[in-house]
Structure 1
Amino acid sequence: MSDLIDDPREGANEPEFTVSEISTAVKRTIEGTFDHVRIRGEVGRVVHARSGHLYFDIKDDRSVLGCTAWKGQVARLSVMPEEGMEIIATGRLTTFPNQSKYQMNVQDVAVAGEGALMAMLEKRKKKLAAEGLFDPARKQQIPFLPEVIGVITSPTGAVIRDILHRLRDRFPRKVLIWPVAVQGERCAPEVTRAIDGFNAFTAGGALPRPDLIIVARGGGSIEDLWGFNEESVARAAAASGIPLISAVGHETDTTLIDFASDLRAPTPTAAAELAVPVRAELLARLEEIESRRISAMRTALNYRGEKLRDLSRALPRVDALTAGAQQRLDLAAARLPGALTARVDRGRAALSEASGALRPSLLARTINSARERSEDRGKRLAPALERSSAAAQGDLARITKRFDTLSLAPQIDRRNDALAQLMRRFKQATEVAHSQRARKLDALDRLRLTLGYKATLERGFAVVRSAKGEVLTSTKLAKAHAVLDIEFADGTLSIGAKKTARPSASVSKKGTQGSLF
């Protein structure tokens, strides 16, 4: 029996682990010990996955640590890791059992020192400059006097108060404020959305589209102003269709939006000064221009007046211009009576010459000659008429003979039938026209009776006339006549003016009027 039992080996009673069990144990140990760490290093390989996750390495001169940031964590990172950047990553260590490796789940990223920030800024600046975003040729002209100014800044800081105060002092304009965070992780996305939002406004909409955009913030450290160095902000400023003035920080502060904007102002107050001119200076300038215009006009008028006077002195006098014509007129007037007398004499001579042919003896001879010619033609007329009549009778006989030989009876019958049909149609048309005119006449007669005063008499009215037939329309006219004719519907009644009825009881004594009945 003892041969069947193995000899005991040293350590044979220690527990055995599966791969998953040991991986889980290591994971719990690492995550429990390093649940919150901050690690400083240089960013190496950076991979943006299609799923939205971010994978990158941080390293020093001896080791490399793999890092991950899930999609939701990437959106909350204040600084996006870039290769060669020195950062401080905050998160926790964990393991990846599939590859038996440990890694860091990054929750936040910060740039390690100002030098690293400046190096990253310089690198980003060169990249955007190579794309042409800072090219002066693409910058727009700032409008001289914008109607609406859009301001992108914090609504609670002193910057917006300085801008509004400066605009009010120089030239009051309409201002649209788009409130944004001016530092921190929300700064860059909010400023980007504000620039794009102002550009999305439509002309004539509920909110007026700005003619100029001012992006403003007070001074601060490079970390405070870092949101304006983000690539998204610079690209939005470069792509803005509305002219944009950047006023971020003080005069010594420089951000990427300053290079991408159309104009950089050293301070927010200076941005307001660059946006609008001084109204008082414009008024003074206009007054100066108006004064110069009036002075120039007066000088021009004086010059032209002197030139006109100089030219007028070279012109001849009016009496000298009209003297020749006046002399010719006087000569013509002097010759006019003699010319009229000569013209009358010529007319009288022509009349005497023409009347000589109308002497009585010559006129008698002319009449006798005409009478003889008429009698001679009368004698020749009777034989000519007889010859013409005989020729016509012969022609008529020949025509009658030819007519008898032709069979025209059918044609005559057809023409007679057509004539009878036309007569019937004419008779019908005549009857229809007569009936239409009769109906129209009846309608006009009824209209006459309706509009006439006879129909009014049927309703109980009467017409008062004088003895001469004049219509009397008032009591005053009726009292002036001794006899009145009153026409009723069934006849006329003549009464004297003295036969008046007693006044109606309903009429007051002061305004009584006698009745005619």
Structure 2
Amino acid sequence: MSDLFEDPRPGNAPEYTVSELSGAVKRVIEGEFGRIRVRGEVGRVSRPASGHLYFDLKDSGAVIAAITWKGQAARLQIRPEEGMEVIATGRMTTFPGQSKYQLIVDDLAPAGLGALMAMLEKRRAALAAEGLFDPARKKPIPFLPQVIGVVTSPSGAVIRDILHRLADRFPRHVLIWPVAVQGEKCAAEVAAAIRGFNAIAPGGPVPRPDVLIVARGGGSIEDLWGFNEEAVVRAAAESRIPLISAVGHETDTTLIDHAADRRAPTPTAAAEMAVPVRMDLLAQADTLGARLLRALVQGLAQRRQRAGDLARALPRAERLTEPARQRLDLWGERLPAALAAPVAKKRARLTELAAAIRPRLLAQTLDQAGRRGLETGARLARAADQRVERQRLALAGLSDRLAATLASHGHRTAQQRGALTGLATRLDAAPPARLAALRERLEARDRLRQTLGYAETLRRGYAVVRGDGAVVTSRAAAEAAGALEIEFHDGRLPLGPPARPAARKPKGGPPPAQGDLF
């Protein structure tokens, strides 16, 4: 039988607890795989509120869990996105709580330029679909800005090139917002700088820029990757201040170049786009002034020539006034004869009228005029007398109406005086009557109070018992009182302390003595 069946006992094999076995596996994995680099495609990505970063690395045959702790996640070169091919650097370990192994990642890099460019193209297509790169959104650059805002590193050669070129072309007031231009802080600081410049209120203590320049020198695509981040692109597209992008060299292209209002091949070219050349403007102003002066001189010369041509076409002034002088001489010769003929005609008419005038005719005319004056005066006197009589009659009528009106008002005044006298009489009689009525109501209330009071109850044979000054309504309260007092209808009777009940004795003993009533 022992040959047919195996012995169920393990023999000399050691026994492990679950924790011991998990610890042994952990030591083997961490000892065998120290710090390693793993290439794979990013699968599921999770960012919980703790700040840690959980994601999967996979290929065609296997999946491995990866974790980046909160402190390391902020320093990663790139953020893992699903479908991205990356190279993760870290250490292998196990998680006993779930019996699995995992990779603790402290560095993450794209797996080759092709993967990074594929991710960049995917992001560019997504942002373009939102309309962030639409040419209709772009704003024109002001011709001569008063204030220029520059977002760049304060210690690099870029800011010196920009300031030098601005000083050469047209010196302007420059505000510099220092930022990191590469690394994990680049995107957040550049986006915050663009939004910070836009948040400056016009007319405040800090001047608001008229144009912004986001600049950085050349570098690899990894160095320029901060300007491809979505936060920077959205901040550039949302900027209300016109923005010039000058990131990298002419061959370098980042996503902020598509969202900016204008792209400059170099930071120096951005400064040239921001302001014109002052000397060119002065030369152009001198040229335009000279052209204007020449135009004025030529215009005056042309008008002078035209006036001379027109003057030659006109006749001489003497020839223009000759007909008028001739007509004046003719009329001057005819004027004396023309004045003498009307005078002679008027004189002959006056002679005819004077021959018809005689003294007798004049006296008759005066007599007729005097009679007409007397008749007119008599008519006026009669008319005046008649008018005066009519006015007198009208005045008499008005006097009669006034007298009647005064008599009517006197009657009404007598009636109102009588009514007033009656009201005064009623007013004099009202206070005593009111006081008598109130006094009667008060006496009735007092009688009711006396009837309902406890004094009337005492007169009917009742009494009030007080203990220690308070009304006693029970035996227990009376026994507890220190002193008793009885109130009758005719006075109060004080009593001593109440008698206490005697203790009970055993059955068969003598009965207790009869106590006092009080």
TM-score (norm 2): 0.65
CA RMSD of aligned residues (A): 3.8
Change in CA separation of 1:124 and 1:27 when aligned onto 2, cut-off 3 Å: farther
Question: Is 1:194 equivalent to 2:193 in the alignment?
Answer: yes
> Hey, what does 1:242 align to over in structure 2?
241
Residue 176 of structure 1 and its aligned partner are, at CA, apart by: 0.7
Question: Is 1:339 equivalent to 2:338 in the alignment?
Answer: yes
Quick check: 2:26–2:94 contact (8 Å CA) kept in 1? no
Equivalent-residue separation in structure 2 for 1:116 and 1:185 (angstroms): 19
Question: Is 1:227 equivalent to 2:223 in the alignment?
Answer: no
* Residue identity in the other structure for 2:35: V
Residue 57 of structure 1 and its aligned partner are, at CA, apart by: 1.5
Q: Which moved more, 1:148-157 or 1:229-238?
A: 229-238
Change in CA separation of 1:368 and 1:249 when aligned onto 2, cut-off 3 Å: closer
Instruction: Give deviations 1:9-60, integer Å, cap 9, x for gaps.
Output: 454895452x5x3575257536864896342212231323453553321134
* Residue identity in the other structure for 1:64: V
* Equivalent of 1:44 in 24, 42, 45: 42
Residue 242 of structure 1 and its aligned partner are, at CA, apart by: 1.9
Equivalent-residue separation in structure 2 for 1:115 and 1:15 (angstroms): 52
Instruction: Give deviations 1:57-89, integer Å, cap 9, x for gaps.
Output: 113454321113355543332211123433232
> Hey, what does 1:304 align to over in structure 2?
303
Equivalent-residue separation in structure 2 for 1:211 and 1:417 (angstroms): 93
> Hey, what does 1:442 align to over in structure 2?
none
> Hey, what does 2:144 align to over in structure 1?
145
Quick check: 1:30–1:93 contact (8 Å CA) kept in 2? no
Equivalent-residue separation in structure 2 for 1:370 and 1:122 (angstroms): 127
> Hey, what does 1:74 align to over in structure 2?
73
* Residue identity in the other structure for 1:268: P
Quick check: 1:149–1:176 contact (8 Å CA) kept in 2? yes
What pairs with 1:27-106 in structure 2 (closer than 5 Å)? 29=27, 33=31, 37-49=35-47, 51=49, 53-60=52-59, 62-70=61-69, 73-106=72-105
Equivalent-residue separation in structure 1 for 2:303 and 2:59 (angstroms): 90
Quick check: 2:42–2:85 contact (8 Å CA) kept in 1? no
Equivalent-residue separation in structure 2 for 1:235 and 1:372 (angstroms): 118
Instruction: Give deviations 1:249-283, integer Å, cap 9, x for gaps.
Output: 22233322223322222221121112111111111
Change in CA separation of 1:417 and 1:350 when aligned onto 2, cut-off 3 Å: farther
> Hey, what does 2:4 align to over in structure 1?
none
Q: Which moved more, 1:256-265 or 1:362-371?
A: 362-371
* Residue identity in the other structure for 2:121: E
Quick check: 2:42–2:86 contact (8 Å CA) kept in 1? no
Quick check: 1:152–1:177 contact (8 Å CA) kept in 2? yes
Quick check: 2:53–2:69 contact (8 Å CA) kept in 1? yes
Question: Is 1:279 equivalent to 2:278 in the alignment?
Answer: yes
- 1:134 aligns to what SS in structure 2? coil
Change in CA separation of 1:366 and 1:202 when aligned onto 2, cut-off 3 Å: closer
Quick check: 1:27–1:94 contact (8 Å CA) kept in 2? no
What pairs with 1:379-418 in structure 2 (closer than 5 Å)? none
Residue 124 of structure 1 and its aligned partner are, at CA, apart by: 3.0
Instruction: Give deviations 1:108-155, integer Å, cap 9, x for gaps.
Output: 322344444334333333433444433434333222222211111111
- 1:284 aligns to what SS in structure 2? helix
> Hey, what does 1:493 align to over in structure 2?
none
Residue 311 of structure 1 and its aligned partner are, at CA, apart by: 2.4
* Residue identity in the other structure for 1:231: E
- 1:87 aligns to what SS in structure 2? strand
- 1:104 aligns to what SS in structure 2? strand
What pairs with 1:126-165 in structure 2 (closer than 5 Å)? 126-165=125-164
- 2:80 aligns to what SS in structure 1? coil
Change in CA separation of 1:325 and 1:16 when aligned onto 2, cut-off 3 Å: same
Quick check: 1:43–1:56 contact (8 Å CA) kept in 2? no
Change in CA separation of 1:343 and 1:111 when aligned onto 2, cut-off 3 Å: same
> Hey, what does 2:168 align to over in structure 1?
169
Equivalent-residue separation in structure 2 for 1:184 and 1:79 (angstroms): 9
Equivalent-residue separation in structure 2 for 1:412 and 1:86 (angstroms): 125
Equivalent-residue separation in structure 2 for 1:272 and 1:261 (angstroms): 15
Equivalent-residue separation in structure 2 for 1:197 and 1:372 (angstroms): 114
Question: Is 1:211 equivalent to 2:210 in the alignment?
Answer: yes
Change in CA separation of 1:355 and 1:255 when aligned onto 2, cut-off 3 Å: same
Q: Which moved more, 1:148-157 or 1:318-327?
A: 318-327
Change in CA separation of 1:188 and 1:357 when aligned onto 2, cut-off 3 Å: same
What is the number of residues matched between the two proteins? 387
Residue 165 of structure 1 and its aligned partner are, at CA, apart by: 0.9
Equivalent-residue separation in structure 2 for 1:411 and 1:214 (angstroms): 101
Q: Which moved more, 1:334-343 or 1:314-323?
A: 314-323
* Residue identity in the other structure for 1:248: V
> Hey, what does 2:362 align to over in structure 1?
363
Quick check: 2:45–2:80 contact (8 Å CA) kept in 1? no
> Hey, what does 2:261 align to over in structure 1?
262
* Residue identity in the other structure for 1:110: A
- 1:245 aligns to what SS in structure 2? strand
> Hey, what does 1:313 align to over in structure 2?
312
Quick check: 1:238–1:260 contact (8 Å CA) kept in 2? yes
- 1:210 aligns to what SS in structure 2? coil
- 1:209 aligns to what SS in structure 2? coil
- 1:46 aligns to what SS in structure 2? strand
Equivalent-residue separation in structure 2 for 1:16 and 1:366 (angstroms): 172
> Hey, what does 2:494 align to over in structure 1?
none
Equivalent-residue separation in structure 2 for 1:309 and 1:348 (angstroms): 60
Instruction: Give deviations 1:449-473, integer Å, cap 9, x for gaps.
Output: xxxxxxxxxxxxxxxxxxxxxxxxx
Quick check: 1:247–1:265 contact (8 Å CA) kept in 2? yes
Equivalent-residue separation in structure 2 for 1:371 and 1:241 (angstroms): 106
Quick check: 1:40–1:86 contact (8 Å CA) kept in 2? no
- 1:266 aligns to what SS in structure 2? coil
Quick check: 1:148–1:209 contact (8 Å CA) kept in 2? yes
Q: Percent identity?
A: 58
Equivalent-residue separation in structure 2 for 1:186 and 1:242 (angstroms): 23
* Residue identity in the other structure for 2:102: Q
Residue 411 of structure 1 and its aligned partner are, at CA, apart by: 7.8
* Residue identity in the other structure for 1:338: A
What stretches of structure 1 of length at least 5 have no aligned partner? 1-6, 390-394, 420-517
- 1:222 aligns to what SS in structure 2? coil
Equivalent-residue separation in structure 1 for 2:305 and 2:8 (angstroms): 141
Equivalent-residue separation in structure 1 for 2:371 and 2:192 (angstroms): 128
TM-score (norm 1): 0.65
Question: Is 1:351 equivalent to 2:361 in the alignment?
Answer: no
